[in-house]
Amino acid sequence: MSERVDFLIVGGGICGRLIQLELEKRGKSTLVVDDRKANQCSIVAAGLANPLVGKFFTIGWRSKEFFGGLYNHYQSLENRLDSSFFRPSAMKRVISTPGEQNIWLSKAHQEKYVGFCSFANEEIEGLNTSYGLLEVVQGGQLNAKVFLNACMEKLPTSDELFDYNKLNIDEGNYGHLNYDHIIFCEGYKLADNPWFNNFVHLIPTKGEILEIETALEPKGDIYLGGVFIQHVEGEVWRVGATYDQNNTSTNPTEMMREDLVKKLEKTLLLPYKIVAHYCGTRPASEDRKPIVGSHPKHRNMHIFNGMGSKAVSLAPLLAKELSDNILEGIPLEGEIDVKRFC
Ligand SMILES: Cc1cc2nc3c(=O)[nH]c(=O)nc-3n(C[C@H](O)[C@H](O)[C@H](O)COP(=O)(O)OP(=O)(O)OC[C@H]3O[C@@H](n4cnc5c(N)ncnc54)[C@H](O)[C@@H]3O)c2cc1C
């Protein structure tokens, strides 16, 4: 471990790594302390970036800003890390009723939706596509495992459990390491952080995913219905995900498996075999907005968390906004600023 860094970062999930890369780009020295053995939500993430969200597929909060430069941003990180982990993806939402079809036949032409999605009549063998499809434009996917492994290999990292008792915030040191700033990115484990856990409360939201084998045609990378069906390779597809609030258990459950199966069978008409089942815990916030910014009392202590189920699309731009805030004093928008909880 080096003796001094500009930024000490606790947590090496998607958030910790994206802020590390942003600061490195701005010439700052960094070290990520990450306990790889801990539950790492980022590793199990499907990695989807979809500008349309929720049951009614509305355009997500700040989607134009988040999606405008997303592909170029990840491409520059691929160059930096000499690895390949992000690609634009064809996402197709399967329309399931005549009513929904009517809505989308007119809605997809509205100005605000043009550039995000278009209606298509396309037959896909094995899926119930009789009411058409909505093709999502600007979607993408991050292979989080490949991204995090590349970061582990190429960026300054210490693979250890961060011990809060060893932190001297007055002196700015952690054991024998001196730092100018510390950024906490522990995901739902923020609950263990004594400087933030008395006023920031996350809602840990467990998510489960199945991997199946089926002879579905990969005419798109991702089909969206009651669940997403994401092509992995060959006949392997990933199916997800569930949302179970305030649950941090680390084992997948029979109940959620049945829930996923029931939803899958409404969209997929082909036989399939379940080959894997796993889970992780998302760091969701109470108001469903990210949690970014500086501690109200300790100016060199910061947080980058609360991305819920959207770290892949939100965190790149928010890492820039946090860096601008710390390094150049540019104010954060109130709706993401951690100070809203004070
Ligand atoms: C089933 C499922 C599917 C998902 N699909 C998507 C998707 O398609 N698209 C999307 O954008 N998001 C998705 N997500 C959500 C996404 O995974 C999260 O938004 C993201 O992983 C949050 O990243 P993070 O870095 O904040 O937290 P984490 O990934 O949890 O990383 C936190 C890191 O901090 C480390 N840590 C914590 N405490 C300590 C400590 N004391 N010492 C050392 N290290 C510590 C942990 O070990 C971990 O490595 C999904 C999540 C789940 C569970």
Tell me, using a 6 A CB cutoff, whether residue 35 lines ligand 1. Answer: yes
Rounded CA separation 268/307 (Å):
30
Residues 239 and 176 in one domain: no
Residue 217 Cα to ligand 1 midpoint, Å, equals 31
Tell me, using a 6 A CB cutoff, whether residue 108 lines ligand 1. Answer: no
Of the candidates 184, 136, 141, the residue with the CA atom closest to the CA atom of residue 13:
184
Residue 188 Cα to ligand 1 midpoint, Å, equals 8
Q: What is the DSSP string of 127-141?
A: B--TT-EEEESS-EE
- From 241, 267, 285, the end of a domain falls on 285
Residues 120 and 210 in one domain: yes
Residues 187 and 210 in one domain: no
Write out the two tokens for 287: 């108001």
Residues 152 and 242 in one domain: no
Residue 40 Cα to ligand 1 midpoint, Å, equals 5
Residues 251 and 334 in one domain: no
Tell me, using a 6 A CB cutoff, whether residue 252 lines ligand 1. Answer: no
Please identify, by atom number, the ligand 1 atom nearest to the C-alpha of residue 306.
Answer: 26
- The domain that holds 10 is classified in CATH as 3.50.50.60
- The domain that holds 104 is classified in CATH as 3.30.9.10
Residues 268 and 306 in one domain: no
Residues 222 and 235 in one domain: yes
With respect to residue 60, please indicate whether it lies within any of the assigned structural domains.
no
For the chain, how many structural domains are there in total? 2
Residue 48 Cα to ligand 1 midpoint, Å, equals 14
Residues 266 and 222 in one domain: yes
Residues 301 and 263 in one domain: no
Residues 153 and 259 in one domain: no
With respect to residue 73, please indicate whether it lies within any of the assigned structural domains.
no
Residue 201 Cα to ligand 1 midpoint, Å, equals 16
Rounded CA separation 69/85 (Å):
16
Q: Domain limits at 321?
A: 4-45+145-201+286-341
Please identify, by atom number, the ligand 1 atom nearest to the C-alpha of residue 240.
Answer: 1
For residue 285, how many other CB atoms are within 10 A of its CB?
20
Q: What is the DSSP string of 252-319?
A: --HHHHHHHHHHHHHHB-S-EEEEEEEEEEEEEETTSS-EEEE-SS-TTEEEEE--TT-HHHHHHHHH
For residue 306, how many other CB atoms are within 10 A of its CB?
28
Residues 149 and 281 in one domain: no
276 CB-side CA count, 13 A? 11
User: How much is the pLDDT for 243?
Assistant: 95
Tell me, using a 6 A CB cutoff, whether residue 14 lines ligand 1. Answer: yes
Residue 16 Cα to ligand 1 midpoint, Å, equals 9
User: How much is the pLDDT for 39?
Assistant: 66
Q: What is the mean pLDDT of each run of 10 residues along the chain (342 residues)?
A: 87 97 98 86 92 82 92 97 94 89 84 85 89 90 96 97 96 96 97 96 96 90 92 95 93 96 94 96 96 96 97 98 98 97 93
Rounded to 5 degrees, φ, ψ at 108 are: -65, -20
Rounded CA separation 158/10 (Å):
10
Q: Which residues contact 243 (CB under 8 A, 6 or more apart)?
A: 205, 206, 207, 309
Q: What is the DSSP string of 151-182?
A: HHHHS-EEES---GGGEETTTTEETTEEEEEE
Q: Look up the pTM and report it.
A: 0.96
With respect to residue 50, please indicate whether it lies within any of the assigned structural domains.
no
Q: Cα dist. 176→6, 67, 179, 309 in Å?
A: 14, 41, 10, 36
Residues 218 and 323 in one domain: no
Residue nearest to atom 41 of ligand 1 (CA): 162
